[in-house]
Amino acid sequence: MKKSAEEYRISGVLFVRKSVLPAEKIGRQIKEDITMKYDGNNRPIRYLVVTALFGALITGYALGQHGTVDPNDLPSDHPFVKDGQVDIDAVVKYFEDLYRSESSISVAKLTVSKPRRNRTLEMKIWTQGEKKALIVIRNPAREKGTATLKVDKNLWNYLPRIKRTIRIPPSMMLTSWMGSDFTNDDLVKESSFSKDYNYELVGPSEEPKGWLVRFTAKPDIVGLWNRFELILSEDARIPIEARYYDRKDRLARMMHWSDVKVFDNKRIPSRMTLIPADKEGHKTEMVYLDIDFDVKVPDETFSLSNLEQRR
């Protein structure tokens, strides 16, 4: 039976046009970000349901235009390491605030690599504080105009091929984002290092060189990770590597930060590479290409009407 071009499916659930769709109605069957639209010839056409690219983006990842530097080579105005002692509380607070800005406009690139396929998206992002963000896919052409809006804890996706808006609930924060190795929570950063984890300084790290900090989830916190270990640069100001352990305390994935760049006197890793422990040949890489901080972003940028009308 042929399916109408006026209809589309997400994980087997049929929807019709002219409605804003709450994702709660889709149910737990949504486990992947790639959905299917059918044309009049019953041929599947892939398009993306973008869930959230906002943790790094809302908090305003800074990337500079002045070249890559060694994170241990630049001076620090407020050293966290003195006489061989690390101010761990100050370090954790600094790490959480490292990329924050009142507002920003940035360009980023995300590449998902698998043994038989690589996919790269280029996107533009507008943010206002930590509560509001808009991300719009600019390339490739087949995904152009796909967009996600965040206001407080509410998320909406706009799908230009079917001219439809879908609401994404907080309950989906722990699922995979766009088929990548990131979870939605990685990008939205609903969890807090200082509030959701107990942390301790383990001591110096030899490989890579720096300081090792262990974060253990508090007993009442529901999440994917039992603990993770973070390695910081020798001045304790730049993240270098993190190892994440699941609820059974098995190594689940590793994150690498690299290509540190300077912008507005800030040293920021412009590249993050996430590698799952149980998927050989898989990795996801996010690279920040440009950003302007503390720029004027009108409030109407973060509205549903703008989400749909500007595409």
pTM (predicted TM-score): 0.70
Collect all residues with Cβ–Cβ distance below 8 Å to 83 and sequence separation of at least 6. Answer: none
Q: What is the pLDDT of residues 1-56, one digit of tens each?
A: 444 333 333 333 333 333 444 444 433 333 333 333 333 433 333 333 333 344 44
- Structural domains of the chain ordered from first start: 7-309 (2.50.20.10)
What does the pLDDT read at residue 287? Answer: 93
* Tens digit of each residue's pLDDT (9 = 90 or more) over 129-166: 878 889 899 999 988 998 888 888 788 889 898 999 98
Query: What is the structure's pLDDT at 173?
Result: 67
Select from 206, 267, 264, 217 the least CA-distant residue to 239: 267
Most confident of 17-21, 76-80, 100-104, 287-291: 287-291
* Measured distance CA(64)–CA(49) in Å, rounded: 30
What is the radius of gyration, based on Cα positions, of the chain?
Answer: 20
